[in-house]
Structure 1
């Protein structure tokens, strides 16, 4: 597994580099924003804070399960810790946007740095309740990470600096690109500190703290405060529910998101116990996963280009189909009597590649069918079944036998992916007669919100 992990990571990175170079050659001449020094300076101020926050978040990905295992907790106990994190994410995710608008976007970003630092410090404790508290803080921090930073940027971009709104997509697209690079590098860095320096699985969490502190300090020093409009939470959710039930396209998208992403959440929990017993370097494996996701994103942009002109709904269908196929593979490769870690690793890479296709396609379709004024409420309703399904899956795993439970869970996930595939099929049929679900403008700036929300 050691050599296979390094080889797969290198191969995927080479493929990403080749696609990026090809994309650079076919890119149109530099747009006006490239020649605007004020805009470039504003972007750099945003990147300094947000990219440090993302780096700290990604560093914690490879060794979370391993850390709990290192503390001698059973798989069922670890599953409960993950459930606490998901449940916390549900609760805080529902109110995070209102909280951020009232508290202030800058203060919320600084609060993120503080709460996530405390979350990392709790990883030094072997006390189960302290680790539960850490997971709750992690849920709050994740909710702030995916709401406060972008909300601050959009307000400053439009209200304070009065830059053209089309340039927002440029910044978010570049952020998504650097986010992928950072994610790949974070896996290697986590492996270096945990394995090469022999500091153990808690090391990546400690390394995250200085990055979080720097992010908070830069926000305090360089950012101005801004606030959002006060919105009644009940009205936001009520309007979102009306939109969800009145448009079957929105309902189908919500169904697909809940089914697909709940499977991804369970995959995030299961990949470590499947590969770790076979000597896989977890940090490098994680880098390989992120490289596969980046390759999927590059393939998405290539597929919707003028040369191929595929539609996002086609790529969404392909992503769900690939995940179903991968989970079907995993029901065989995780058979206790004849485990095949190489096949499992390949299946995991395919799942990550599917995520690279899925998130930009889903982002495009959501923007097309969900009105801006209802988007927050609709997203709250989307997240609720998503996290509940993920929690239910982990609770089922908690009550099952270790040897057969993992294989059974992949079987259940394959069935869930099949349901998602049926919903995608229905959406695909609708798109043939619905111009709103099709990409008509020149691609290249349609997928700024392609970053995964997991």
Structure 2
């Protein structure tokens, strides 16, 4: 499997470069943002954000391996993942409220402290301390996925009064560099963990200096900003739920998101135990996954620029993901196990993920009202984490223990339902002129949250 992973990375890398080149040529440039002062402001944001993201990516490939190295069983590791997922969604709900009261700069500094502490706690072999570390890491992740971009948007509009159209320029660059960093992080973790023989704890120790440096830059170079309006939590949640229940398209978007993204979370857990018995280079495998996502993003850009309807692309992504998980059901058969087929299936799934996120992001931005978006997205996160946590908890049941094939059967069922919902979205979206316009490159929003 070692040779297959390296060959796949080179082949996928070449395909990714080709797809991204074509997508770039077809992309409609709406804003340049070449103002020298703007570029200086943009670089100041990237210096911090990309350091934080690289530290986050370093922690992706070897998490399961670390817990396994400490001697924990699969069902025990599943509980650790559940605590991480649950803390992210629960605390993520309150992050905008915290920014409202304490300020986004302070939250970004807090992120670097909490994430560094989470990495340090991974040095312990105590199950309780590791759970604490996962909870702290989940809190930090919820800040990373909200406060940084919120700080940038506020500074861009309120402090510097740059054109709003230039925000997409920044996020486009962030998305590109984020993908490159993800692939680089896979190489780096493989180098220090396996080539240098430092073990699965090494990537977490390496992440700490990047986090500290990011925290110093935030403290010394960023100004404080706060939300322009106070969010009333109860009223916002109530209004968001009313909109979900009154608008069928919004409801179907939420159901589809919950079903598809819960499968993503499940596969985040499953890919290592499925492939690890064949001793693959986990960092290189992780890089292959990230390149596959970038290929999917490029495919989305190419097809959307040719005016293929976004709802149709969303449905296609779910069908491809469904086929990939069907392959996984066969490849994990106890008597006919095939690590190579599982690996290829995961690559296909990640390509579908690369198509799914910009498609879903585009639909949300056009169909969910801005004033209700925060509360509606919070409601969407609840079933995502509930489904994924319930499925992972099934690993405690005798019929599911060490039977990843059964988990993939569940994933097939979830994706089948998601595909049916996607077909309904296609039907509901017919004739909607807003969904026929050229699609800009969506901000990184979820690609950095895949693993």
TM-score, scaled to structure 1: 0.96
Contact 1:106 1:224 survives alignment (8 Å) = yes
- Could you tell me how far apart the structure 1 residues matched to 2:428 and 2:24 are? 34
Q: What corresponds to 1:39 in structure 2? A: 38
Matched, 1:377 2:372: no
Q: CA deviation digits over 1:394-451, x for unaligned, max 9?
A: 0012324567520000001100100000000101111113333x232x3335x22553
Q: How does 1:319-358 map to 2 (within 5 A)?
A: 319-358=317-356
Aligned to 1:248: 248
Match of 1:290 in 2: 290
Residue in 1 aligned with 2:403? 405
Q: How many residues align?
A: 448
User: Pairwise mapping of residues 4-403 of structure 1 onto structure 2 (< 5 A)?
Assistant: 4-26=4-26, 31-34=31-34, 36-228=35-227, 229-305=229-305, 308-400=306-398
Q: Which residue of 2 aligns with 1:448?
A: 443
Contact kept in structure 1, 2:289 and 2:346, CA below 8 Å: yes
Q: Deviations over 1:185-214 (max 9, x none)?
A: 101100011001100000000000001011
CA distance in 2, matches of 1:238, 1:26: 42
Q: Give the whole-Å Cα distance in 2 for the aligned partners of 1:408 and 1:27.
A: 42
Looking at structure 2, the residues matched to 9 and 151 of structure 1 have their Cα atoms a distance apart, in angstroms, of 34
Distance 2:57 2:23 in 1: 26
What is the CA–CA distance in structure 2 between the aligned matches of 1:290 and 1:398, rounded to whole Å?
30
C-alpha displacement at 1:177, in angstroms?
Answer: 1.0
1:63 is displaced (CA, Å) by 0.2
Query: Could you tell which deviates more after superposition, 377-386 or 78-87?
Result: 78-87
Does the 8 Å contact 2:23/2:299 carry over to 1?
Answer: no
Change (3 A) 1:257 1:403: same
Determine the C-alpha separation between the residues in 2 that align with 1:40 and 1:334. 50
Q: Cα–Cα, structure 1 residues 400 and 50, in superposed 2: closer, same or farther, change >3 Å?
A: farther
After alignment, is 181-190 or 90-99 more displaced? 90-99
Q: What is the CA-CA distance between 1:20 and the residue it aligns to?
A: 2.7
- In the alignment, the residues of structure 2 paired with residue 211 and residue 400 of structure 1 have an alpha-carbon distance, to the nearest angstrom, of 42
Partner of 2:436: 439
Distance 2:237 2:150 in 1: 19
Deviation, structure 1 residue 39: 0.7
- The CA deviation at 1:243 is 1.3
Unaligned runs of 5+ in 1: none
Contact 1:76–1:399 (8 Å) recurs in 2: no
1:96: Cα distance to partner?
A: 1.3
Q: Which runs of 5+ in 2 are unaligned?
A: none
Shift in Å, 1:24: 4.2
Take 1:20 and 1:363, find their aligned partners in 2: how far apart are those partners? 19
Report the Cα distance in structure 2 between the residues aligned to 1:241 and 1:419, rounded to whole angstroms.
22
Displacement of 1:304 after TM fit?
A: 1.0
Whether contact under 8 Å (2:311, 2:426) holds in the other structure is: yes
Quick one: distance in 2 between partners of 1:59 and 1:80? 22
Q: Distance in 2 between matches of 1:413 and 1:340?
A: 19
Say whether the 8 Å CA contact 2:187–2:287 is kept in structure 1. Answer: yes
Deviation at 1:27, TM superposition (A): 5.4
Distance 1:439 1:270, change over 3 A: same
- 1:33-60 Cα shifts (integer Å, max 9, x gaps): 12x0011001100000000111000100
Deviation string for 1:247-286 (max 9, x for gaps)? 1111000000000000010000000000010111100000
**Which whole-Å deviations, capped at 9, do the CAs of 1:352-410 have from their partners, x for residues lacking one?**
11110000000000011100010000000000000000100000123245675200000
The structure-2 alpha-carbon separation of the partners of 1:105 and 1:403, relative to structure 1 and needing over 3 Å to count, comes to: closer
What is the DSSP-based 3-state SS (H/G/I as helix, E as strand, rest coil) of the residue aligned with 1:33? coil
TM-score in terms of structure 2 length: 0.97
User: Which moved further from structure 2: 151-160 or 166-175?
Assistant: 166-175
C-alpha deviation, 1:19, in angstroms: 2.3
- Aligned equivalents of 1:402, 1:32: Cα separation in 2: 53
Name the CA distance, whole Å, in 2 between partners of 1:365 and 1:26. 21
Retained in 1: the 8 A contact 2:145–2:445? no
**Cα distance change of structure 1 residues 41 and 125 upon mapping to structure 2, 3 Å threshold:** same
